[in-house]
Amino acid sequence: MRFIKFLLVTVLIFILISCGANKNKSKKISDNRSKTSKSNISKIYKIKEVKFLKKPVEGYPIEVEVEFENEPEGKYNLIYEWYINNKLVEEVNSEILEPDFFTKDQWVFCRVKAVGKDFETSFVKSKYYKVLPATPSIIKKVVPKFEIPGTLTYQVEVDFPGIEREDWEEELSFEIISPNDPDLTISPTGLIEWELTKEKIKEFGKNISIEFKVSSLDGREVRGKLNINIK
């Protein structure tokens, strides 16, 4: 009788141990499937590029945009990390870095990752950019002597930090300050043209100078003067 009881207890213990082992095994399989699923989804959803909308300029916000190779469906969050001279700016987690955090000649980059309910992409880093000084300047050129009568043609060259030449027409405005002559014009890209005759020389004199102004949409401004050498 004792032997039978011992045998029953042994069998019961074996059954309980087997159930526990199967439960743990099932949990491990489930956890592994979850990890595998998350890993696979992260490979499917991928950030292609993080790029600056404009070159960074002292005193103006810096903004980046994110381009996906395969954009996630449904809701997800973008995690932004900004670095100034390779040091993390811990206070900022958005696509915009305000000018209070940086100054000219510092190096800036941003890295971004996407996080969803069941996925997380790798961080993707933007290019490094050096913060440019905000002050624009006129690039001076030698003006050849001009023969009357004729049409004066001169291309204004400016250095507006953060604004590329191909964007001048959209980002900059060129304006003639003096002299006041309807025949004196300047194009949206800074090309000065002036039909000069002997009569105009008598009116304005031989020592003619053209004053002009270049302004940007963000409020910066620079003035220049073109001295005309008449033969």
Q: Return the domain boundaries, the chain.
A: 44-130, 137-227
143: Cβ contacts below 8 Å, ≥ 6 apart: 154, 226, 227, 228, 229
Give pTM, 2 decimals. 0.61
3-state secondary structure string across the chain: CHHHHHHHHHHHHHHHHHHHHHHHHHHHHHHHHHHHHHHHHHHHCEEEEEEECCCCECCCCEEEEEEEEECCCCCEEEEEEEEECCEECCCCCCCEECHHHCCCCCEEEEEEEEEECCCECCCEECCCEECECCCCEECCCCCCCECCCEEEEEECCEECCCCCHHHHHHHEEEEEEECCCCCEEECCCCEEEEEECHHHHHHHCCCCEEEEEEEECCCCEEEEEEECCEC
Pairing of strands 150-155, 184-186: unpaired
* pLDDT cut 90: percent of the chain above it: 52
Q: Residue 18 pLDDT > 60, yes or no?
A: no
Confidence of residue 27 (pLDDT cuts 50, 70, 90): very low
Reported as a pLDDT band with limits 50, 70 and 90, residue 224 is: very high
- Mean pLDDT over 100-124 rounds to 94
Position 181 pLDDT exceeds 70 = yes
CA pair distance 23, 87, nearest whole angstrom = 47
- 138 CB burial (10 A radius; 0-12, 13-18, 19+): middle
pLDDT of residue 151 exceeding 80, the answer is yes
Q: State the first-to-last Cα distance of the chain, in angstroms, to the nearest integer.
A: 133
C-alpha 210/C-alpha 212 separation (Å) is 7
The class (CATH top level) of 137-227 is mainly beta
Domain 44-130 class, CATH top level: mainly beta
Please determine whether the domains at 44-130 and 137-227 fall in the same fold group of CATH.
yes
Distance CA 225, CA 177 (A): 10
**Two structure tokens written together for 217:** 């949409």
Closest listed residue to residue 121, CA positions, set 81, 72, 154, 156: 72
What distance in Å separates the CA atoms of residue 14 and residue 115, rounded to the nearest whole number?
Answer: 45
Average pLDDT over residues 13-22: 51
Whether the per-residue pLDDT at 11 is higher than 60: the answer is no
Q: How far is CA 126 from the centre of its chain?
A: 9
Q: Locate tokens 């004196």: which residue?
A: 184
pLDDT surpasses 80 at 64:
yes
